[in-house]
Structure 1
Amino acid sequence: MPKAVRFDEYGGIDVLQVVEVDRPVPGAGQVLVKVVAAGINIGESSIRQGAMDSISPSTFPSGQGSDLAGVVVELGPDVSAFSVGDEVLGFSNDRASQAELVAVPADQLVPRPANVPWEVAGALAVVGTTAYAATQAVGVGTGDTVVVAGAAGGVGSLAVQLACSAGASVIGLAGPANHDWLTAHGVTPVAYGEGMADRIRAAAGSPVDAFVDTYGDDYVDLAIELGVKPDRIDTIINFAAAKKYGTKTAANSEGARADVLAEIARQVDQGRLDVPIARTYPLDQVREAFRELEQRHTRGKIVLMP
């Protein structure tokens, strides 16, 4: 029997289990994918801890995960876009991708380009489409000065690159360990901590036009302090601050489309977009993977390899 990540109650990483489950059966418009790689995301920690229960409750036992890449092993009825043996990447909306087998709607998958490694393909959907949506929401363009908080994280590391590609001057907020990586990708790094607003102003040399918050904490307040207009601030995590100031909250749900994912994958394939992989773990080490992720110091992505 195939294995999958499950949890039976809200809690810390100790509630995560890897258990045997029935083999999924693809329904109409679905394909069955043998998962090679499945990225993990901080939002999944929030769901598992119960922090999202009021807006997105779990039904127990609950699966986990959205990102995936793998090989099509079975077709459901009415599927013509893929064949058995095709290599694909995509996303599940059923909290199911952290598993050996997952049934996925065919319109949530795209072909895996030849130059996109498995671990990158399996980590790409959530962060790629979120970074796309966030940078689009604040209207990043040529001549803009843009600040990205959490600039070396899963979403932030892609958001800074997309903003640079759009012609903006990009300031990335990150710890010193990530400054060389940011500099190598055309981003001006600024360290967190006291005096950050002054350091940003000095690095910018002009008013800040847009701000993307991928981390939370008080970064929306910082953007307001810097004089950024609310309609050019996007936070993917601090919804209370967004409501207070009237900023944007565009994230994965606004970008989660196959055409967006295909474009992100194409840029990776062409070497125009770098997706840093911090570490890979086997499926049965899912607790260890989330323990590392929840320290919030990861550069890029952590990936499960079932």
Structure 2
Amino acid sequence: MKAIQIFSYGTPDVLAVTEVERPEPGPGQVLVAVAASSVNGHDALLRSGAMKIVSGRRFPIGVGLDFAGVVAGTGPGVHGVAIGELVWGTVHPREKHAVAGAAEFVVVAADRIGPVPAGLSAVQAAALVVPGITALAALRGATHLAAGETVLVRGAAGGVGTATVQLAHGFGGRVTALARTRHAAALTGLGAERVLDYRETAPEEAGRFDVIVDTVGTDLARYRRRLTKGGRMVTVGLSGPAIAAIAASTVFGSRRIRTFSADPRTRQLAELAGQVASGAIVPVIDGVHPLAGIASAHRAFDAGGVLGRQVVRVSTSEDPVDPA
């Protein structure tokens, strides 16, 4: 089967389509015939070598945190998962994988998948897994957003940003989105009350907010100062300076800068599916790329300035590859 692997760290040019043995599910595992994957910040960091403390220097390393596809097999001890079922899920984000989501087949623990919500294609599902779960964790688990509170979403045009705008609006938040002006109409349509161009608006000019969700990871201290009394801030844009800012903010107690690691399991995927079913969130896709063109998807992600996700279509049609 075909899989995307890297044999060294670097630019998107290090991504290679390789031929590998099809994996087999072990106890508690499922085999998924992948139809689509997407490009996450995790994938870009892994590819560049920024996560080498986890991934190490032994190659090859598989790429692709998330996936959507059809269950092609189950290992011993797996119950409640049907062969042929369309599912979405992720590989373990803190483990090294020789084959990951950007491959024709992937093996994962059965508790890392869930049924794709009715009405979503595999491409749409792949675009929503990590952004949706991350937005849910930011708004419910980390900041406990309440209806009527003001919310600032920084990096609002990205995958996590567009998901956060939608869910914050759905939870009753009054959303201000920081993004490029050309995305203002789309973000307003997703639920933002205001859209401010981050290139023209200093943090001090944006106003004050009960909740700030940051996906960028820079100028965190300046944005933290925009919190109201009792406000909460979370960032998913981790870097060296961001980690330093998070550590320095602990003196501010409840108004410190928080972060978290979203690790989707079946329960969280079911919660996200419920939000999809209610109409609170839809996938936002900027581009769809073939498996052989995954480098172009990573280049678009690295360049930024787009609206939504870069999706990699693993099979040659909308349907997953034949699981037989």
Q: Same fold (TM over 0.5)?
A: yes
Tell me the residue number matched to 2:7. 8
Tell me the residue number matched to 2:35. 36
- Percent of aligned positions that are identical: 38
Tell me the residue number matched to 2:50. 51
Give the partner amino acid of 2:19.
E
Distance 1:293 1:142 in 2: 32
Distance 1:101 1:229 in 2: 49
Q: Structure 1, residues 136-172: CA drift from partner, whole Å, max 9, x if none?
A: 2112111211101011110011111111122111111
Counterpart selection for 1:101 from 101, 105, 123 = 105
Q: What SS does structure 2 have at the residue aligned with 1:303?
A: strand
Alpha-carbon shift at residue 198 of structure 1 (Å) = 4.6
Tell me the residue number matched to 2:123. 119
Tell me the residue number matched to 2:69. 70
Alpha-carbon shift at residue 58 of structure 1 (Å) = 5.5
Distance 2:88 2:233 in 1: 30
Q: Structure 1, residues 82-107: CA drift from partner, whole Å, max 9, x if none?
A: 12111111111154000000111111
Tell me the residue number matched to 1:204. none
Equivalent residue pairs, number = 297
Q: Which moved more, 1:240-249 or 1:166-175?
A: 240-249
Give the partner amino acid of 2:216.
Y
Alpha-carbon shift at residue 43 of structure 1 (Å) = 2.1
Tell me the residue number matched to 1:214. 215
Counterpart selection for 1:297 from 289, 296, 305 = 305
Counterpart selection for 2:279 from 268, 271, 274 = 271
Q: What SS does structure 2 have at the residue aligned with 1:130?
A: helix
The two structures have a TM-score, normalised by structure 2, of 0.87
Q: What SS does structure 2 have at the residue aligned with 1:155?
A: helix
Counterpart selection for 2:203 from 165, 190, 197 = 197
8 Å Cα contact 1:115/1:270 also seen in 2: no
Distance 2:177 2:211 in 1: 12
In structure 1, list runs of 5 or more residues that go unmatched.
202-206
- State yes or no: 1:159 paired with 2:167: no
Q: CA RMSD in A?
A: 1.8
In structure 2, list runs of 5 or more residues that go unmatched.
251-256, 315-324
8 Å Cα contact 1:67/1:124 also seen in 2: no
Q: Which moved more, 1:220-229 or 1:88-97?
A: 220-229
Alpha-carbon shift at residue 14 of structure 1 (Å) = 1.4
Alpha-carbon shift at residue 8 of structure 1 (Å) = 1.0
Distance 2:299 2:225 in 1: 34
Distance 1:229 1:286 in 2: 45
Alpha-carbon shift at residue 271 of structure 1 (Å) = 2.5
Runs of 4+ residues over 6 Å off in structure 1: none
Provide closer, same or farther for how the CA distance between residues 58 and 264 of structure 1 changes in structure 2, counting only shifts above 3 A.
Answer: farther
Provide closer, same or farther for how the CA distance between residues 65 and 27 of structure 1 changes in structure 2, counting only shifts above 3 A.
Answer: same
8 Å Cα contact 2:211/2:227 also seen in 1: no
The two structures have a TM-score, normalised by structure 1, of 0.91
Distance 2:133 2:3 in 1: 25
Q: Structure 1, residues 221-250: CA drift from partner, whole Å, max 9, x if none?
A: 232232456971101123232122131102
Matches for 1:223-262 after TM superposition, within 5 Å: 223-228=223-228, 232-237=232-237, 238-246=242-250, 247-253=257-263, 256-262=264-270
Q: Which moved more, 1:61-70 or 1:130-139?
A: 130-139
Q: Structure 1, residues 47-70: CA drift from partner, whole Å, max 9, x if none?
A: 111112235536411001121110
Q: What SS does structure 2 have at the residue aligned with 1:72?
A: strand
Distance 2:58 2:134 in 1: 25
Provide closer, same or farther for how the CA distance between residues 114 and 44 of structure 1 changes in structure 2, counting only shifts above 3 A.
Answer: same
Alpha-carbon shift at residue 114 of structure 1 (Å) = 2.0
8 Å Cα contact 1:190/1:196 also seen in 2: no
Q: What SS does structure 2 have at the residue aligned with 1:215?
A: coil
8 Å Cα contact 2:286/2:308 also seen in 1: yes
Counterpart selection for 1:170 from 175, 188, 212 = 175
Tell me the residue number matched to 1:183. 188
Tell me the residue number matched to 1:280. 288
